[in-house]
Chain A
């Protein structure tokens, strides 16, 4: 009997709700947006706590600097825009004014990746994990679904320091268990298997789970790991996966250069060399289309992940 289709919720929706709840619990939380509060979902917070919400207008660099100033005075600051503009336009301000002095700013960037869809390549941020991951002091989190997004936002309030959370526009399947306990820096084994490990983040986590189903029908056992925290990455879980499975395939809705795949490869090459392959965007920009069409076109859907996984298992056996 087939399982009922998973409920779909956008991670940005979960962020907006979590932020609203935090606003009530934490009087020091201040939220900034750059004229996209309806889309980033900070609007609910802005209505509930108008005194602690500042719309900075279409000026992302200034938003990051303003966030740094608020944090330097003791506030817990959430700053939101589209990933393209938060991580892309304001990278230097994030580096100089937030990461260098290690200030408590949480950058929650929405509309990341291909699943932005029809808006096309100008808005499909595919380089943000790379850009954020190289910054000292920065924590980088890519939640797999709405459950993980809400949990990550709550967890981030508990620690003092800069963080980047990558969120999606499109509604995506909810795959995390109800009793899921998110911990910064820890991945989760969502399905066990011994032939290959699929390590994924964001929307590629449901794709990897579906790919594991496809692989099972071909007699291949895939361990599926949700790796929400790209930095600091869960080295123990990666090392164990390499040891147990002997091959690792990473999957991310992002350039393969510098993202999750690179982060995993840094661990694998140092501690437990095994054959690896990286599913993601291979040195190309995106284009207009629906989210599902784009994931399929660039080999990021379940079928694409499964095909690459099968090839890697063959390579491992050769």
Chain B
């Protein structure tokens, strides 16, 4: 079943709002990571608007789906999408990275705000997702665990320990979405430390794995639908993206991994994104 025009428009609007929020939040914080969440905005919006069973109505339902942002530095995007779902108050967003804010520089577990796990140290989230998936299966719950990861994070050995055990235990209720943008802090991922073809790697580890254009929300939607039909193994969506997507001067630029836009740059970016 393909996305209706209405759903597609809703996802695209959410992705654009994410980009606007991210630029504003990182600019206001004067530090943070804008490039990643801009690149992830489309597949994150597809997941949160169309698939992840997490909203104000089921927030406290232990059986609801879970989401772990294993590449935790991209959390401005997560906070934005949770605020668009009414779980994080909109007026809390601008406290991002400020003293006393629940919206920490890297996610701190806070089930009241829909933040399901503390992350920030790369490599740790997929193992946690596997543990959650095991627990859901033990309880006979129809809970799906989604983990966001990245190509750079795939350099961590623990990712492959987790990939091994998730396949060993046939965790069909676990899906990882890998933001593959060929950028990491020190430059181009393929030059720093090439992780090569992650689809074939995940396949070799026993996963259902597909390459998908991370900006094509219909394709991401279809891949997420397919992942839920796989019954005997976990799924990996290798989402190919452009860092900084949506802001012309950030697109494809490793320099925007972890630098905040200054006021004039933010104004330019917001104009490009059509922010009111």
Contacts and interface: CB of A to CB of B under 8 A. Distances in A.
A73 B62 contact: yes
B138 to A, nearest CB: 7
Contacts of A291: none
- At the interface, is chain B mostly helix, strand, loop or mixed? helix
Contact of B118 (A51, A61, A62, A100): A100
Given A69-B127, A100-B118, A62 B165 contact: yes
Interface in A94-124: 96-97, 100-101
Contacts of B108: 100-101
Contact of A61 (B117, B130, B133, B161): B161
Interface string A39-73: 00000000000011010110101111111111111
Contacts of B62: 73-74
A72 B169 CA distance: 19
B162 interface: yes
A23 B148 CA distance: 34
Contact of B131 (A51, A72, A100, A101): A72
Interface in B113-129: 116-121, 123-129
B236 interface: no
Contact of B158 (A68, A93, A101): A93
User: Is chain A's interface secondary structure helix, strand, loop, or mixed overall?
Assistant: helix
Contacts, number: 106
A65 B136 contact: no
A30 interface: yes
Given A57-B165, A62-B158, A70 B135 contact: yes
A185 B67 CA distance: 36
A62 B132 contact: no
A75 interface: yes
A92 interface: yes
Contact of A51 (B123, B124, B136, B138): B138
B134 interface: yes
Contacts of B139: 73
B109 A62 contact: no
Contact of A65 (B109, B128, B168): B128
- Which interface residue of B128, B138, B157 has the most chain A CB atoms within 10 A? B128
Contacts of A56: 165
Could you say which of B66, B123, B158 has the most chain A C-beta atoms within 10 Å of its C-beta? B158
A36 B109 CA distance: 31
B158 A65 contact: yes
B118 A65 contact: no
B240 to A, nearest CB: 26
B164 interface: yes
B165 A92 contact: no
A105 to B, nearest CB: 10
Interface string B166-195: 001100000000000000000000000000
Interface string B25-40: 0000000000000000
Interface in A1-60: 30, 51-52, 54, 56-57, 59
B117 A72 contact: yes
Contact of A59 (B119, B121, B131, B161): B161
A72 B161 contact: no
B121 A65 contact: no
B118 A59 contact: no
A57 B164 CA distance: 10
Contacts of B131: 65-73
A72 B132 CA distance: 7
A117 to B, nearest CB: 29
A70 B62 CA distance: 12
A68 B128 contact: yes
A145 B126 CA distance: 37
Contacts of B128: 65-66, 68-69, 72, 97
A62 B134 contact: no
A17 B136 CA distance: 27
B101 to A, nearest CB: 16
A62 B132 CA distance: 13
A183 B242 CA distance: 56
B169 A54 contact: yes
Given A51-B138, A73-B62, A96 B127 contact: no
Interface in A180-203: none
Contacts of A72: 66, 109, 116-117, 128, 131-132, 135
B116 A97 contact: no
A64 B130 CA distance: 11
Contacts of B168: 57
Interface centre among A59, A62, A74 (most CB of B within 10 A): A62
A58 to B, nearest CB: 9
Contacts of A101: 108-109, 117-118
Interface centre among B117, B125, B169 (most CB of A within 10 A): B117
14 contacts: A30-B135, A57-B168, A59-B165, A62-B130, A67-B131, A68-B128, A69-B129, A70-B135, A73-B131, A73-B136, A92-B121, A97-B128, A100-B109, A101-B118
Given A72-B117, A73-B132, A101-B108, 6 more contacts: A30-B138, A54-B134, A61-B123, A72-B116, A75-B138, A97-B127
* Cβ-closest 3 pairs across A and B: A69-B131, A65-B127, A73-B135
